[in-house]
Amino acid sequence: MRRSKGEGSLTYIKRLKKYQVRYDVSIDENGKRIQKASYFSKKKDAIAFMQDELSALNRGKYVSLSNESLYSYCKKWYELYKEPTLTKINTKEKYKYTLNRIKGLSVGSVRLMDLSSEILQRAYNKMKADIFSLNSFGTTLVFSYTASTLYGSERGSISRS
């Protein structure tokens, strides 16, 4: 029986003596599917893996590593998720100001796949040393920490001390 669109596929490859799991993770700007594939010796391991990955995709928890910069990610996040929900002009301006600050910081050009809690902590310490206001700290950290937890190779919290 053929699977529905978005359910992935499970295939046994005789020459490798392994099960291949293949599923779509996204669609690129040209409309072409971006797929991930993994291989397993046991069928039950392959099925369990595929179910976990598809479940994460459906919950919106899967994020592929990216060459995109932190600034670019934060800008897209703002435009897609935050801006449409904001009604107060001052709040919109605050987010735009924060985006410009991220763009001006060295951490703004870090690729998401290279982002770590250490890099964010160093940026935070530098901002603190440069005496940015505590209020703008928080907004900048919301953007940065969101990207770090999604993409960062090292998970961790940012110390505000």
Q: Is the pTM of this model over 0.85?
A: no
- Strand 33-40 vs strand 9-13: parallel, antiparallel, or unpaired? unpaired
Contacts of 47 (CB under 8 A, 6+ apart): 10
Residue range 27-80, pLDDT digits in tens: 777 778 888 889 999 999 999 988 888 887 766 655 556 778 888 888 888 888
Domain boundaries, the chain: 9-58, 70-151
Nearest Cα to Cα of residue 45 among 69, 15, 20: 20
